[in-house]
Amino acid sequence: MAKKILNKDVSNVVDEMMLGYLTAYRNYYKKVDGYNAFYYRNHRKDKVAMVIGGGSGHEPMFSGFCGAGLADAVACGNVCASPNPELIKEAAKPVDQGKGVIFVYGCYAGDNLNFDMAEQALQAEGIKTAHVRVRDDFASAPEERKKDRRGIAGDVFVIKVAGAACDAGFDLEEVVRITEKARDNTSTIGICTIPCTLPGNDKPNFELGEDEMEYGMGIHGEAGIERTKMACAEEIVDRMYAELKKEMDLKEGDEICVLVNGLGSTPLLELNLVYYDLYRLLSKDKVKVYDAEIKPYVTSMEMGGFSITAMRMDDELKKYYDMPCYSPYYAKGSVGAVAESLSEEEEELILAAQDEEADFSVKRSKAGILTELTAEDARNMLIYIASKVIDKKGFLTDIDSAIGDGDHGIGMAGGMRKARRKLASMIGETDVYKLFETAGKEMLNSMGGASGVIFGSLYLEGAKGMSSTDAIKGDDLAVMEEKSLKAIQELGKAQVGDKTMVDALSPAVDALNAAKGKSLLEMLQAAEDAAKKGVDNTKNYVAKFGRAKSLMERAIGHQDAGATSVWLIFQGMREYVEDKMSK
């Protein structure tokens, strides 16, 4: 078990981490009220604004790359999960200057979904936006699927160039062109020697033997090119350089910037050795190094290993790379004064006390089997389901750790806690659909990652637009779930067989529709059984989405965590209606 320095309540780790960072560097940054987002006090005026963001746990990326010549604002998601759309939107609004906002972030399913939704919301408010997704990890997908590649340490070079392009005063389209040029000339390969453990988990995301390492592993523990025995530095760098040289088609006379990036626990002594070995190989091939960095910029907590990033340079990219920038964790050149004086009010750090624990006890309108769900029953049922999923956090974590990054249980538990707390305050609400919609919104705006969008939509989209009612029957539930399924598939594009939550939700919806006219309990029993069969079927599938897709056939034999959560939700509905709730 990894030894971590955390507070007793790990559910607030991102909030408290950010408060520590912003308190230390409060001369530079101002927090966006109510959100894990902040902006640079001297952000750009009358120019294109840049907003970056992603999951926490990779510090100093992204929080350390906001400042003069860099990003104007940062949206920080939960650990290893993307920020939610509202958080991203609120991060962008204080820095928008009417010239447009460019979002720069790593290419992951959750980030893509959440940033896209945030852009749509901003555009609806008249704010012009664009995005560039960093995809430098060439080990994560072949050339023909380049758009699926992950963004890792290449974020550093792309953000640096993008910030300079914004400072140059170009319009949004030209900033995007220059940023994409930096992105398309940047490639990264990494190795992992020690796994990481997410705060709140009892064991690492994945396992590596004492004498093992993995080439090409992602910063969340995603599978790489090959798992092999440990080797000496020269042999490791030889292999990585050969892969990088082939990917970039490096030739004599080419000029590159290089980053040797530590993943969290690898000491600088070893990282400097890596660069020494790399530089000898580059010199032998007469590949010129325009500039080099040896630092841990994109980490994964205590993960061991490193990555090598190269950006092919030309005169245009050199111009923007050389422009000065400053943040507490990344700087080039000189930018002079970086901050204005603070007011007395801003000097004070106010730590909001946590709400007192609400009453999450579950009550039913009557004993025995329910034939309909009144608003109060619906509220209690959703609280019961939330508690059930929270209790299953470890179970869901174990399932996700087998083929993902192990954060699904944490994300679901966090989202359900927010929903449960809000529902507990809604005593007396008479509209069933408003309860479902509210629970969905709380999940969407707290979970982050792809799961936040998808599972928030499970409640939210089905209830949205429905006429107010104080009770629903089984047929009404079927209509609501079918709407949710349609919305989720439109958002994520997943179909049955793709090893996602759709594999459980789609057959459950089919079962509900087939059982229309029967009792509420009979319909839920059919849906629960169908969802469980869907979960079992995911063991036979190769993943098409999420971090498990890089495993290909290695994912076969493991059930999908998202599908499992869907089954638990239908099981919770049935248990509540049947008056057979687990204790």
Q: How far apart are CA 283 and CA 278, in angstroms?
A: 9
Give buried/exposed letters for 429-444 (b at 16+ CB in 10 A, else e).
bebbbbbbbbbbbbbb
User: 3-state DSSP: the chain helix, strand, coil percent, rounded to 5?
Assistant: 50, 15, 35
Q: Is the pLDDT of residue 330 over 90?
A: yes
Contact criterion met (CB below 8 Å) for 459 and 440: yes
Q: Are 214 and 146 in contact (CB under 8 A)?
A: no
- The owner of tokens 């590596």 is 208
User: Are 439 and 387 spatial neighbours (Cβ–Cβ below 8 Å)?
Assistant: no
If pLDDT is split at 50, 70 and 90, which confidence band does 340 have?
Answer: low
CA 392 → CA 200, 379, 547, distances in Å? Answer: 13, 20, 21
171-185, 301-315, 340-354, 567-581, range with the lowest pLDDT: 340-354
**Which residue from 41, 1, 563, 8 is spatially nearest to 340, judged by alpha carbons?**
41
Q: Which residue has the tokens 């998808």?
A: 454
Quick one: which of 82, 137, 139, 91 has its CA closest to 113? 82
Please report the pLDDT score of residue 358 as a whole number.
64
Residue 40 has which token pair?
């640079």
Indicate the DSSP class of residue 132. Answer: E
Residues 6 or more apart whose Cβ sits within 8 Å of residue 279: 289, 292
Confidence of residue 334 (pLDDT cuts 50, 70, 90): low
- Separation CA 165–CA 170 (nearest Å): 7
Q: What percentage of residues in the chain have a pLDDT greater than 70?
A: 95
Contact by Cβ (8 Å): 175, 159 = no
User: Does the pLDDT value for residue 582 go beyond 70?
Assistant: yes
The b-or-e profile of 55-75 (16+ CB within 10 A means b, else e) is bbbbbbbbbbbbbbbbbbbbb
- Spell out the domains of the chain, with CATH numbers in brackets: 10-331 (3.40.50.10440), 373-578 (1.25.40.340)
- Give me the pLDDT at residue 1, please: 54
Distance CA 571, CA 309 (A): 47
Give the pLDDT mean for 412-418: 90
Which has the minimum average pLDDT: 189-198, 206-215, 549-558?
A: 549-558
Q: Which residues neighbour 359 within 8 Å (Cβ) at sequence distance 6 or greater?
A: 424
* Residue-level pLDDT at 405: 75
Q: If pLDDT is split at 50, 70 and 90, which confidence band does 347 have?
A: very low
Rounded Cα gap, residues 36 and 508, in angstroms: 36
**Is 60 exceeded by the pLDDT of residue 339?**
no
Over residues 41-51, the pLDDT tens digits come to 999 999 999 99
Burial category of 97 from C-beta neighbours within 10 Å (exposed 0-12, middle 13-18, buried 19 and up)? middle
Pairing state between β 73-79 and 49-56: parallel
The pLDDT of residue 291 is above 90: yes
Cα-based torsion angle of the residue sequence 496, 504, 106, 152 in order, rounded to the nearest 10 degrees: -100
Instruction: Give the three-class secondary structure for 557.
Output: coil
Q: What six digits make up the tokens of 368?
A: 């025995």
pLDDT of residue 554: 77
Confidence of residue 350 (pLDDT cuts 50, 70, 90): very low
Map tokens 């220059």 to a residue.
178
Using CA atoms, how far apart are residues 298 and 155, in angstroms rounded to an integer? 8
Q: Is the pLDDT of residue 449 over 80?
A: no
pLDDT of residue 395: 94
Provide the pLDDT confidence category of residue 354 given band limits of 50, 70 and 90: very low
- Per-residue model confidence (pLDDT) at position 308: 97
CA angle 425/431/434 to nearest 5° reads 70
Whether the predicted pLDDT of 228 surpasses 70 = yes
CA distance 105 to 127: 19
SS3 assignment, position 241: helix
Reported as half-sphere exposure (CB side, CA atoms, 13 A), residue 62 has a value of: 35
Average pLDDT over residues 449-467: 88
User: pLDDT tens digit string along 309-322?
Assistant: 999 999 999 999 99
User: Kindly report the CA angle at 574 between 573 and 580, in degrees rounded to 5?
Assistant: 110
Q: How many CB atoms sit inside 10 A of residue 239's CB?
A: 17
Q: Are 94 and 32 in contact (CB under 8 A)?
A: yes
Which residues are part of the catalytic machinery? 220
**Can you read off the two tokens belonging to residue 227?**
């798992």
Extract the tokens encoding 536: 């079992």
Which residues face 289 on adjacent strands? 256
Other beta carbons less than 10 A from residue 453's beta carbon: 26
Rounded to an integer, the average pLDDT of 550-568 is: 88
Rounded Cα distance between 325 and 389, Å, is 45
Query: Mean of the per-residue pLDDT values for the chain?
Result: 91
pLDDT of residue 5: 87
**Angle 474-492/502-514 helices, nearest 10 degrees?**
150
Kindly tell me if the per-residue pLDDT of 345 is higher than 70: no
Compute the distance between CA of residue 109 and CA of residue 492 in angstroms, rounded to an integer.
9
The confidence band for 351, taking pLDDT boundaries of 50, 70 and 90, is very low
**pLDDT above 50 (res 441):** yes
In angstroms and rounded to an integer, the radius of gyration of the C-alpha atoms of the chain is: 25
Cβ contacts of 191 within 8 Å, gap of 6 or more: 213, 214, 215, 216, 217, 224, 236, 240, 305, 306, 307
Token pair listed for 248? 């970039």
* One-letter amino acid of 469: T
Confidence of residue 220 (pLDDT cuts 50, 70, 90): confident
pLDDT tens, residue by residue, 240-273? 999 999 999 999 999 999 999 999 999 999 999 9
Whether residue 357 is predicted with pLDDT greater than 80 in this model: the reply is no
For residue 516, the cross-strand partners are none
How high is the pLDDT of residue 342?
Answer: 47
Strand partners, 39: 30, 73
Q: What is the pTM of this model?
A: 0.82
